[in-house]
């Protein structure tokens, strides 16, 4: 029995009830009013709910579209991450055809479960570079978004802990950049791999292109180092488990309602500035449209796809575009849904001279259930490398460098250490995934129709800006140099699959267009901008421009994507936002 079928069997036969989670709004309808309503119980929304209910005088309602994360083996066991996409815990979105990818549409997974995408993602814990945050501060005119001022919020989220196998981590990270008492568990890999030492030896053989980096979360990620992941005690640490887990969910001033999909935000009164503290939604199996009003603030935390989708359905966006799809505009904010920034990726494969020992699926699952150790207590990656386009490259002679600064990589190598796969031919194959992490291209989220429950149109616009394609070409060349080092001489046999057909620049470009996929790191669709600016969606304090009563707290407010995976900065954004809200209502 495969891991997918076996884990599904366990989930289907072990029903865990969490009595304090509500399955529909009808269970708490009489409990209104609430001081704060948090639309979305994902990565950011869970943090907001937790921090606001630290004050016993604040009553908070969380409305989450998905089901509970409790008791779902595929969520809890890190090694079962590939079972989560295209599952009931995924919104199962698809992008519009991508012009630069030969008109291919891509599956676009988003978490449809308490904890949001933190419950279904790859658990990579990467903060990005200090340059990224300093650029946010420069864009917004608010030093509070700079690296030095955001670092305390980054640390507040983190609970660094021992890896699943309990090995000594000396020399694998720098404790000076970590917190050991926060909410979300972070740990180093807990399962050794035969290629660990080979990857590390490459840092000595790469002529400085990939030096060893003791801690990629220091603000200077360049180089190769040990990956840190949101795993604790061999189990995924999601926003749901770390901020809405058993220690917090029973707070008397907190109600979390599942199976509740937001349709719109609604206006209150006729003041000079529209008041947007009311939210409309469906809940449970009922087709009834409910509405509820926050006494103080409504917080939208629906993510980079969900937040602009709800704003647009509410009539908040470009008034001409809204009228074209039959939505009555109430607030002209042309930047809503625009500025989508996401990172394309591509996987290269090589034939390798390695003996592969297949994992016994049943034994691995039993080991995890009994001890929270073994293959399923870890992701599939032990090491990640971050690189920049060489200074000698001609790319930036004619176009601007999209990176935030000198500490910022242009690309990421995900060194899939447990990946040597036995092919049907009996040969072994090793994969390397490249993420182009500083894209210049900008896409959008828009409406398909005026039905708020229709799916949005998602257009990441990969490689729309030519510099992204040029950087990806440089990244592939760097990957070839990486595996050309002396330590790989007797291991790498040659390229495998579509990559083996690359013989010149034309075939390389064709390979990129045919093989690129998505990292699922979209941000920017409700971007911050300076207070009073005519562009952007929220002010630096995350209040919606031109309105009152509504704040946005999720990855959509990032002006530009960081040079890494987005869950760590999303946690930090939410931690800072919680402080801003508390200060406003002190």
Three-class SS state of 371: helix
Give alpha helix (H) positions in 450-504: 466-482
Residue closest to 311 by CA, chosen among 289, 273, 293, 337: 337
Cα separation of 23 and 511, whole Å? 47
Instruction: Find all residues with CB under 8 Å of 108, minimum gap 6, and list them.
Output: 93, 94, 95, 305, 458, 518, 520
Nearest alpha carbon to residue 123 among 84, 154, 92: 84
Token output for 33: 């009013």
DSSP 175: G
Which residues have C-beta within 8 Å of that of residue 217, sequence separation ≥ 6?
A: 125, 126, 127, 173, 177, 178, 228, 568
Q: If we measure between CA atoms, which residue out of 284, 243, 289 comes closest to residue 48?
A: 243
Nearby residues of 391 by Cβ (< 8 Å), 6 or more positions away = none
Helix, strand, or coil (residue 155): helix
Q: Active-site residues: which are they?
A: 521, 565
Upper half-sphere CA count for residue 361 (Cβ side, 13 Å): 8
**Angle formed at CA 556 by CA 551 and CA 559, multiple of 5 degrees:** 105
CB distance 338 to 535 below 8 Å: no
Query: How many other CB atoms are found less than 10 A from the CB of residue 322?
Result: 24
Which residues, in sequence order, are CB contacts of 509 under 8 Å at separation 6+? 469, 473
The answer to whether 113 touches 66, Cβ cutoff 8 Å, is yes
C-alpha distances out from residue 10 to 23, 40, 353, Å:
22, 28, 37
If we measure between CA atoms, which residue out of 43, 30, 14 comes closest to residue 111?
Answer: 43
Q: Which helix (H) or strand (E) holds 382?
A: none
Instruction: Report the candidate in 542, 547, 543, 578 with the shortest Cα–Cα distance to residue 558.
Output: 542
Distances (CA, A) of 534 to 311, 334, 529, 546, 557: 18, 9, 9, 10, 16
Work out whether strand 411-415 and strand 344-352 pair parallel, antiparallel, or are unpaired: unpaired
> Which of 112, 105, 581 is closest to 306 using CA atoms?
112
Count of Cβ atoms closer than 10 Å to residue 110 Cβ:
24
Structure tokens given for 268: 């209150």
> Is the CB of residue 457 less than 8 Å from the CB of residue 499?
no
């Amino acid at each position: 029995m495969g891991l997918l079928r076996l884990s599904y069997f366990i989930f289907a036969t072990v029903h865990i009830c969490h009595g304090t989670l509500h399955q529909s709004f009808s269970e708490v309808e009489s409990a209104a009013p609430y001081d704060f309503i948090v639309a979305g119980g994902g990565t950011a929304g869970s943090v907001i709910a937790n921090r606001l209910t630290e004050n016993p005088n604040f009553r908070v309602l969380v409305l989450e579209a998905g089901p509970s994360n409790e008791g779902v083996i595929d969520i809890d066991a890190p090694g079962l991450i590939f079972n989560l996409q295209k599952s009931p815990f995924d919104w199962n979105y698809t992008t519009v055809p991508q012009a630069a990818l030969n008109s291919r549409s891509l599956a676009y997974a988003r978490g449809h479960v308490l904890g949001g995408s933190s419950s279904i993602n790859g658990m990579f814990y990467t903060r990005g570079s200090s340059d990224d945050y300093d650029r946010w501060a420069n864009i917004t005119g608010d030093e509070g978004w700079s690296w030095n001022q955001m670092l305390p919020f980054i640390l507040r989220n983190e609970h660094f802990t021992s890896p699943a196998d309990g090995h000594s981590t000396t020399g694998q990270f720098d404790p000076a950049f970590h917190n050991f008492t926060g909410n979300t568990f972070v740990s180093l890999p807990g399962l050794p791999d035969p290629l660990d030492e080979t990857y590390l030896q490459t840092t000595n053989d790469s002529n400085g292109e990939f030096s060893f980096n003791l801690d990629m979360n220091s603000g200077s990620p360049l180089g190769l180092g040990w990956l840190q992941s949101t795993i604790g005690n061999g189990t995924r640490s999601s926003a749901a488990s770390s901020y809405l887990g058993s220690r917090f969910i029973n707070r008397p001033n907190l109600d979390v309602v599942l199976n509740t999909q937001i349709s719109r935000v609604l206006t209150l009164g006729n003041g000079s500035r529209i008041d947007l503290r009311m939210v409309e939604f469906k809940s449970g199996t009922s087709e009834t449209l409910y509405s509820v009003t926050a006494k103080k603030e409504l917080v939208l935390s629906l993510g980079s796809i969900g937040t602009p989708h709800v704003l647009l359905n509410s009539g908040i966006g470009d008034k001409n575009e809204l009228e074209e799809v039959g939505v009555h505009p109430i607030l002209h904010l042309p930047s809503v849904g625009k500025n989508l920034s996401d990172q394309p990726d591509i996987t290269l494969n090589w034939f390798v001279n390695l003996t592969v020992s297949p994992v016994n699926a049943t034994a691995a699952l039993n080991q995890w259930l009994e001890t929270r150790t073994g293959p399923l207590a870890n992701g599939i990656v032990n090491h990640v490398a971050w690189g920049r386009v060489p200074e000698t490259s001609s790319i930036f002679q004619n176009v601007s460098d999209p990176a935030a600064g000198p500490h910022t990589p242009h690309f990421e190598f995900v060194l899939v250490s447990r990946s040597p796969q036995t092919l049907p031919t009996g040969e072994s194959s090793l994969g390397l995934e490249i993420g182009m992490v500083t894209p210049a291209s900008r896409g959008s989220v828009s409406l398909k129709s005026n039905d708020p429950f229709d799916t949005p149109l998602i257009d990441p616009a990969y490689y729309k800006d030519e510099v992204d394609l040029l950087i990806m070409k440089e990244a592939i060349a760097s990957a070839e140099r990486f595996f050309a080092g002396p330590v790989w001489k007797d291991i790498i046999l040659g390229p495998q699959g579509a990559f083996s057909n690359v013989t010149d620049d034309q075939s390389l470009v064709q390979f990129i267009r045919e093989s690129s996929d998505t990292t699922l790191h979209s941000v920017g669709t409700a971007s911050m901008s300076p207070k009073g600016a005519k562009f952007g969606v929220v002010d630096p304090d995350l209040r919606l421009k031109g309105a009152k009563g509504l704040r946005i707290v999720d990855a959509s407010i990032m002006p530009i994507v960081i040079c890494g995976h987005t869950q760590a900065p999303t946690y930090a954004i939410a931690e800072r936002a919680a402080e801003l809200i508390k200060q406003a209502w002190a």
